[in-house]
Chain A
C-alpha cells in the first residue's frame, strides 16, 4: 500500500497497523491509549485529598460529514469526544484547546451555531476552552469545517484505570444502547429518515465516570467510538491478554438501530458511538456499579453484557441468541453497505 486510504481512518485493523508501523517507531510511544498519563517532576498535592496529582493529556480531530446530524453537530462532538477520552483513563477533565480549519465559503451562521454548541458542551462538561487557533483553506481544499480539540485532565493518585488491570472473572458493562451515533450520521449523509428518528448519543461521560470510580472496582474503561463495541472489546481483550465473552441477548440495541442496520447491511456491533462507555469491573462490584450507572440519565440502559476469563487469550467470543458462539474481531476496512 503506497497511499493513505479511507480504511486507515476507520478505527479498525488498517488504522492499528498504520499506527504500529508508522507512528510508534517514530515517536517511541509507550502506550497506544487515547489519553496519555503524564508524571510531573514534582507532583503537586491535591488541595482537599492531599494526594499527589498526575496529568492526563489527549488530542482528537473531528471531520464528521455532515457537520449537523440528528442529535448533534461537529462542535459538541469535538468537546465531548475529548472530555470522554480523558474520562476513560479516570481523569477529571479540566480544560481544553481547540483548533479550527475552515473552508473558504463556510457559512458564518453555521460557524456561530457550532461555536455556541461547543460553549454549551464545555459548560455541561464542566471544562473550560482556554486556547484556540483558526486557519482558513481555499474552497475545495477542506470539507467545510474540521475541528481539533486537545484536553488536560487531572488524575488523582490511586486512580488506575487501564486494561492491564483487567482480571479473569471481571464483568463487562456497557453503559447504554449501541449504534446510535453511526446510524444518525449515516442516515443524514444518505438522506434516509427513520421514524422515530435515530439520534446521535453524543454526550459527556465524565459525571457518570466520577460516580462509578467513586464507588470503586472499575478496572478499565473505553468509549466505543469508531469501530464500535466489537473493535473496542477486541482492543481491550488484546491489551489485557484475556478472553472476553459477551452475550448477544444482553447487548442493548435500539429498534431503530437494528432496523437501519438490516437496511444498510451493517452490523450494530461495529457502528460508532459517542456517548457510551464499556467498563470492565470487579465481579463483586458489578451489580452495584450497574445500579449507579442506571441512576444516571446517560446510563439508564446500562447492562452487564459478559465476563472475562483466562482463555483463549486475546479473543472476544459472542454467545448468539440461539446458543451458538462466534468469534468477534476488529472492524476490517470500512463498514460498507451491501448490494444484495
Chain B
C-alpha cells in the first residue's frame, strides 16, 4: 500500500499541478471513506463525488407519483430499501407506509413475483430504480413474469443510465475535472466502450476501478500516469470482473424490454436519453399505463430551498459547502437526497467525515 502511495506522490510531482478526479459511483465514495483512502492522499490530489447514486438522482416528482400509486387500493408497492426515506414534497415512502400504504422492501425484484402469485387480486408494482447494475435484474424479472404467466406484476421505471449523465456533465463545462474513476459495478454490465466518448470528445482520462483500497489507489495511479503522459484512454483496472465488452447477455435483456428516454435527474435537470422506459410491446407492464396517477399537485421540480444536492451531484460543490449540511440536513432528517442513501455523497461525508458523533 505504501508503495502505491509513493508512486502516486511521484506522479503528482511529475504532473506539477493540483489534480482533481471524480469518482462517479456512490459505492466508490463510501469505499474511499470507509477504508480511509482519503487520508493517504496528498493535498494536491482531490477526489470529488459525482452523480453516481441512483437514489440521490430520483426526482421528487417520481417519489410523489410512487406514493400516489402505493396509496391506491389493491396495490402492493415494492421497492429497494434505499428509496424508503427519499424525501418527496412533504413525505417519504416510509411515512406513507406508516399511514397504511402497503409498501414492501425487497432485496431483489424477483421476490415481487412471489408476492404477485400470492395476491392475484392485487396489482404488484416494483419501483424500478437504479443504473445499469439493477436494470438487468428488472428485465429478468419481467421475463420471468411472462414465463410464469403472472399478469398482475407491473413496474414504475425510473432507471437511469450513467454514460449520458457524464456526457451532460462534461458538456455543460461547469465542472473542471482532470479524470474519472469510473464505476466498477455498472461497467460489469456495459463494459468499457460506452465511455469512449469521454476520451474522444473531451480528452479526459478514465479508469474503471474496483472497490478495495488497493484497487482504488491503483486506479488513481493509472489516471495520474495518463495525465502525466498527456494520454486520454478508457482503461480497466478492475480486470478480474470487468471486460471490455461487458456482459452482452445482460445488455441484450435490457434492450429487449427497455428503450432510452429523456429523464429528469434530481438537482441536475433533464438529460436527453438518460433514462429507460418500457418498450411499446411491454406497455402492459407499465403501471403508468394501467392506473391513473394524479399529478396536478406536483408543479415543477420541487427541490428543497437552499439544498445544494444539484451542485454536489455535479461535483461543483462538496457536501460541507452546502449551507444545510450537518445543521438542518442530517441522515436522521435528510432535506436533500444525497443525505438519504448510504451511498449519497452527503451521507458519506457526514458519516465518515467526522461531522457525526
Chain A residues with CB under 8 Å of chain B are 3-7, 13-14, 17, 190-192, 234, 264-265, 267, 314-316, 319-330, 332-334, 336-340
Query: Which residues of B95-113 have CB atoms within 8 Å of chain A's CB atoms?
Result: 95, 98-99, 105, 107-108, 111
Q: Which residue of A lies closest to B339 (CB)?
A: A332
Task: Flag if A324 contacts B85 (CB, 8 Å).
Answer: no
Additional pairs, 19, CB under 8 Å, beyond known A320-B35, A334-B81, A340-B52: A3-B99, A4-B98, A13-B331, A14-B332, A191-B111, A321-B35, A322-B40, A322-B213, A323-B39, A324-B39, A326-B33, A326-B34, A328-B357, A332-B331, A333-B332, A336-B84, A337-B81, A337-B107, A340-B131
Can you list 18 A-B pairs, Cβ within 8 angstroms, ordered by A? A3-B98, A4-B98, A5-B94, A13-B331, A13-B332, A190-B111, A192-B107, A321-B35, A323-B1, A324-B39, A324-B40, A326-B352, A327-B351, A334-B81, A338-B82, A338-B342, A340-B26, A340-B52
Task: Flag if A316 contacts B185 (CB, 8 Å).
Answer: no
Chain B nearest Cβ from A191, distance in angstroms: 7
A321–B35 Cα distance when bound, in Å, is: 7
Q: Which residue of A lies closest to B33 (CB)?
A: A326
A17–B27 Cα distance when bound, in Å, is: 29
Task: Flag if B95 contacts A5 (CB, 8 Å).
Answer: yes
Task: Flag if A190 contacts B107 (CB, 8 Å).
Answer: yes
Given contacts A3-B99, A320-B36, A336-B84, contact A327 B356 (CB under 8 A): yes
Chain B residues whose CB sits within 8 angstroms of the CB of A13 once the complex forms: 331-332
Q: Which residue of A lies closest to B137 (CB)?
A: A339
Chain A residues whose CB sits within 8 angstroms of the CB of B35 once the complex forms: 320-322, 324
Partner of A7, one of B34, B37, B94, B353: B94
Q: Chain A contact residues: over half helix, strand or loop, or mixed? A: loop
Task: Flag if B82 contacts A332 (CB, 8 Å).
Answer: no
Q: Which residue of B lies closest to A17 (CB)?
A: B332
Task: Flag if B80 contacts A339 (CB, 8 Å).
Answer: yes
Q: Which residue of A lies closest to B134 (CB)?
A: A339
The answer to the question of B275 belonging to the interface, with a C-beta cut-off of 8 Å to chain A, is no
A330–B27 Cα distance when bound, in Å, is: 20
Q: Which residue of B lies closest to A332 (CB)?
A: B331
A201–B338 Cα distance when bound, in Å, is: 35
Partner of B1, one of A6, A7, A322, A338: A322
Chain B residues whose CB sits within 8 angstroms of the CB of A6 once the complex forms: 94
Q: Which residue of B lies closest to A12 (CB)?
A: B332
Task: Flag if B98 contacts A325 (CB, 8 Å).
Answer: no
Chain B residues whose CB sits within 8 angstroms of the CB of A265 once the complex forms: 342
A339–B129 Cα distance when bound, in Å, is: 8
Chain A residues whose CB sits within 8 angstroms of the CB of B131 once the complex forms: 340
> Can you list the 7 inter-chain pairs with the closest CB atoms, starting with the nearest?
A324-B36, A336-B81, A320-B36, A329-B357, A339-B80, A329-B356, A332-B331
Chain B nearest Cβ from A289, distance in angstroms: 27
Chain A residues whose CB sits within 8 angstroms of the CB of B341 once the complex forms: 338
Chain A nearest Cβ from B322, distance in angstroms: 18
The answer to the question of B55 belonging to the interface, with a C-beta cut-off of 8 Å to chain A, is yes
Q: Which residue of A lies closest to B26 (CB)?
A: A340
- Most chain B CB inside 10 Å of its own CB: which residue of A7, A17, A337: A337
- Most chain B CB inside 10 Å of its own CB: which residue of A6, A321, A333, A336: A336
Chain A residues whose CB sits within 8 angstroms of the CB of B99 once the complex forms: 3
A339–B159 Cα distance when bound, in Å, is: 11
Chain A nearest Cβ from B338, distance in angstroms: 14
Q: Which residue of A lies closest to B131 (CB)?
A: A340
Chain B residues whose CB sits within 8 angstroms of the CB of A330 once the complex forms: 357
